[in-house]
Structure 1
Amino acid sequence: MTSYGYFLASEDHGPRALVDQARQAEAAGFTSLWISDHYHPWLDAQGNSPFVWSTIGALSQATSLPVATAVTCPTVRTHPAVIAQAAATSGALHEGRFRLGVGSGEALNEHILGDPWPQAPIRLEMLEEAVEIIRALFTGERVSHRGRYYTVENARLRTLPDRPVPIDVSGYAPAATELAARIGDGFVTMGPEGDLLRRYRESGGEGRHTGCAIKACYDTDRDRAARTVLERWPNMFLPGELAALLPEPRHFEQATELVTKEHITGGSMPLGDDPEEHIRALAACRDAGFDEVHVSQIGPDMNGFFEFYRTRVLPGLG
């Protein structure tokens, strides 16, 4: 049976607001949380990018819901051995209710130390080696590793959860999806993406955990909701590989000048306060076969959003 969670947007909210949203999500009937891991927001209008591991620690004291990163890049900005320690500590804090979602990353966040931004096939190779290191460290044994991309010397994690943290791998294209099937405990993506889910299962992922996410904008005025999305999240409508390649928010702002309100109102994103529109969007992910569907609110009315979902959307999804 599909379950429904809330996606905490670190680009759009500060850490205290995210913790408060987690409490509201649990009270509204959501059953899990995803949280994004960014160094920069995509656009200055979003305005935030708190350190995700501090927020995850706070979440462990504020809610009993399972938490997952969606997603962390363990390859360029942060060494996989450090991510392993952060994830293991998060697993211990959340008492087995934490999953590490990983992906090949975006230049927006990963270029900040001056490292070159590799082409996609190299990024996937780096991700595979990083996951190998993280899994080795999750055993609690002493690890030394000299690979193509990373070196680890005499590292051992002393603080561990009772069971190793599951690692979910994101996929937005065929090659990453096939990698997820090969190395992941689960698969995560954005939107219904039934074709990717089928590829994941046919490539060896059958029976493993799967999750997807959508954005929504609850507002009592649908037109105002569309304007809010255009102001705060037009980057969602950029095509192809741009999101992985643009290095700064100002570049996203330049690119999103091409996005119009018609792109937003003509798509499948739920806007406004018609519960059926929101139910249809989440049901599309459910019907594609995902185990979990996470929704994230764009816009300022968080209290209205959670009340709307508690009373009119989640009950309609059964």
Structure 2
Amino acid sequence: MPLRLGYKASAEQFGPADLVRFGVAAEDAGFDSVFISDHLQPWRHDGGHAPAALPWLGALGASTDRIVMGTSVLTPTLRYHPAVVAQAFSTLGQLFPGRLVLGIGSGESLNEVPLGIEWPDGKERFARLKEALLLMRQLMTEDRVTFEGNFYRTKLVTIYDRPERPVPIYVGASGPSATRLAGRLADGFITTSGKAESLYSETLLPALSEGAEKAGRTLDDLDLLIEMKVSFDPDAERALRDTANWAALALKPEEKTGIEDPIEMQRLADALPLERAASRWIVSSDPDEHVARIRPYLDLGFRHLVFHAPGVDQERFLRLYGAEVLPRLRALELEQDSARRTGADPVLEGSPAAR
């Protein structure tokens, strides 16, 4: 697949009108896609936001011309019935044909438990996700759907307003089971950067390949999307400080398991030192360093990079990254394509080997 470079609209950090403005700016800056998470509650109480993704995607689509839009991710199993999600994305897909992606995941308790929903264990969450995916795919492609699952049932349901081509469904995962599911049943796979390289090379990508093989496919048949956590600014100190906004990402699973209150999540995140808050991010004022640190993900096979920036001035980031980093990444893609044809090894401009 050709390289695609996207922008992550930080729904936890900004309100809906600002996020639409940023999405328009991303299109103007040369980004190919815009993705948003669908949260009921943010990671922070003070200054936090949690706009609903479904109406926001409609507003962004009406304000832009070409970018691909999607969720990374939405949970179609608890707050939402899968049929409602299938109907909503079919409508969006008809309004903006070829521009929608439905990214789904198994959910987080922060979004479900406050509504009085009993939080299932991991096995049930996975089973619900699989069943929801199958039901949504059937509703997006067939008429008069009767579905008898363990968790969801429909009787003679038709979604009357559908695009000619069904909206592709991607599965977001950080463990092998859901990743195999993505390989077997989904159109794409979503994960996040900043973790140990072995997680991607030894766990996730082999599981994805295994799932794809069971469906008679290869990884080339899937869109491999990764959210890249990047903090870029000519002022290196500013790039470092910006990561404090997202310190919650640096919390270990055992530190945040069972936390359903944004105030408590904020307290835990604010207690972390800045160096730990920055640990999940590529932090640098040098665009060549950004490209060099992004390249390993390209080498692993990820072809859709969605950049998430932590700073408060998102339009500044979009201008700078669009001008300084995206052209370098696209040039690297051309070099890699040429190298594959000739058997040579492309060398990054500015790298020690180039000098």
Shorter-chain TM-score above 0.5: yes
Is the CA contact 1:77–1:111 (under 8 Å) kept in the aligned structure 2?
Answer: no
Is the CA contact 2:229–2:280 (under 8 Å) kept in the aligned structure 1?
Answer: no
Larger Rg: 2
Is the CA contact 1:42–1:249 (under 8 Å) kept in the aligned structure 2?
Answer: yes
> Which of 248, 262, 266 matches 1:249?
262
Alignment of 1:127-166 (within 5 A): 127-166=129-168
| Secondary structure class of the residue paired with 1:271 | strand
Moved more, 161-170 or 135-144: 135-144
Alignment of 1:65-214 (within 5 A): 65-191=67-193, 193-195=200-202, 196-204=204-212, 206-207=219-220, 208-214=222-228
1:162-209 per-position Cα deviation (integer Å, ceiling 9, x unaligned): 111111111101121112222212111001734412321133252211
2:28 maps to which residue? 27
2:236 maps to which residue? 222
1:224-259 per-position Cα deviation (integer Å, ceiling 9, x unaligned): 3333322x2111111236556421212312432452
| 1:259 to 2:272 alignment | yes
Question: Deviation at 1:140?
Answer: 4.2
Question: Deviation at 1:38?
Answer: 0.9
Moved more, 220-229 or 27-36: 220-229
TM-score by length of 2: 0.83
Question: Deviation at 1:122?
Answer: 0.8
Question: Deviation at 1:220?
Answer: 4.0
**Separation of aligned partners in 1, 2:238 and 2:324:** 20
Is the CA contact 2:177–2:207 (under 8 Å) kept in the aligned structure 1?
Answer: no
Is the CA contact 2:246–2:277 (under 8 Å) kept in the aligned structure 1?
Answer: no
Task: Report the CA distance shift for 1:103/1:66 in structure 2 as closer, same or farther (over 3 A).
Answer: same
Task: Report the CA distance shift for 1:212/1:248 in structure 2 as closer, same or farther (over 3 A).
Answer: same
Of all paired residues, the percent bearing the same amino acid is 35
1:3-61 per-position Cα deviation (integer Å, ceiling 9, x unaligned): 21111111111111111111111111111121111111111245111111111001111
**Separation of aligned partners in 2, 1:293 and 1:197:** 16
Task: Report the CA distance shift for 1:137/1:244 in structure 2 as closer, same or farther (over 3 A).
Answer: farther
> Which of 307, 310, 325 matches 1:298?
310
**Separation of aligned partners in 2, 1:96 and 1:242:** 40
> Which of 233, 250, 259 matches 1:237?
250
Task: Report the CA distance shift for 1:128/1:243 in structure 2 as closer, same or farther (over 3 A).
Answer: farther
Task: Report the CA distance shift for 1:194/1:90 in structure 2 as closer, same or farther (over 3 A).
Answer: farther
Task: Report the CA distance shift for 1:237/1:181 in structure 2 as closer, same or farther (over 3 A).
Answer: same
Structure 2, unaligned runs of 5 or more: 195-199, 213-217, 332-355
Moved more, 146-155 or 178-187: 146-155
**Separation of aligned partners in 1, 2:94 and 2:72:** 19
